Amino acid sequence: MIRVIFNRKGGVGKSTLTCNLAAAAAKSGKRVLIVDLDAQSNTTSYLGHSSKDDVVGISEYFESLISFNYRDFKPDDFVRETEFENLSLISANANLTDLEQKLESKYKIYKLKEFLAKLESQFDEIWLDTAPALNFYTLSALIAADRVFIPFDCDAFSRDALFDLIEVIDEIREDHNEELKIGGIIINQFQERAKLPAQAVAELKSTKLKILEPYLSSTVKIRESHHLKKPMVFLDPKHKVSEQITGLYKKIARLR
């Protein structure tokens, strides 16, 4: 199963959700791969790796599609281990930005799907992290994925953008990937005692959209986990948000 977390709105917690849900899967005993497709490489950093080291990652794979560099590398060669059991990573770096226009001009949009197909037998789950934009890499991810999950951070801007985003995903399904399904809306940074977040979620629930529970509470502990480069389920398994993440992952794992 290949899953992608995507929203064109920034600051909704895509990288945090990707890393933490993948970590929950790994902790449950699944063999999990995370692919960082964002030039900012926040996921790479969150999992304790540097985007400026000499280890090959997704940038080098894409470079191999338009040059003679790394042509003799196998898909396995781009995968690195993390310090967390069962959790592997294909890292990103800023070179993704420089490569994007060349990849688009040579129409390499289906190559990520082909690349991941060669790795699927080694992992139970693959999670893709994307930039907050519908760029070449995000479109590649949506073409490669089985499910897309949309984070919603309970403000008016997110609500207004959500329905436009669903139309975009429907169009990608029609044009490029008929297997792609919206797995659901993830309510992130939820403040249960605040009026506006509760109102925003209630409005969503009145639609036909699939709203996943439990909601993920807002907490400064997430920032601590970023600083310590350790997903919540490993940093503090008994924390309320860690338990919510675990519960949400179990819900996602049952989806078909």
Question: pLDDT tens for residues 177-199?
Answer: 999 999 999 988 766 666 676 66
Whether 61 has a pLDDT exceeding 90, the answer reads yes
Give residues with Cβ within 8 angstroms of 193, minimum separation 6: none
* Cα–Cα nearest to 129, from 237, 248, 239, 20: 20
Q: What is the pLDDT of residues 147-167, one digit of tens each?
A: 999 998 766 666 677 888 889
User: In the structure, what pLDDT confidence band is assigned to residue 10 with cuts at 50, 70 and 90?
Assistant: confident
| β-strand partners of 147 | 3, 181
Predicted TM-score of the model (pTM): 0.93
Strands 181-187 and 125-129: unpaired
Which CATH number among 3.20.20.60, 3.40.50.300, 2.130.10.10, 3.90.550.10 corresponds to the domain 2-253?
3.40.50.300
Strand, coil or helix: 1: coil
User: In this predicted structure, what is the pLDDT of residue 195?
Assistant: 66
How far, in whole angstroms, is CA 204 from its chain's centroid?
22
Say if CB 223 and CB 231 are below 8 A apart. Answer: no
Q: Is the dihedral of CA 70, 75, 81, 82 positive or negative?
A: positive
If pLDDT is split at 50, 70 and 90, which confidence band does 200 have? low
Write the DSSP symbol of residue 129. Answer: E
Residue written as tokens 């760029």? 135
The ranges assigned to domains in the chain are 2-253
* 3-class DSSP state of 148: strand
- How many Å is the Cα radius of gyration of the chain? 18
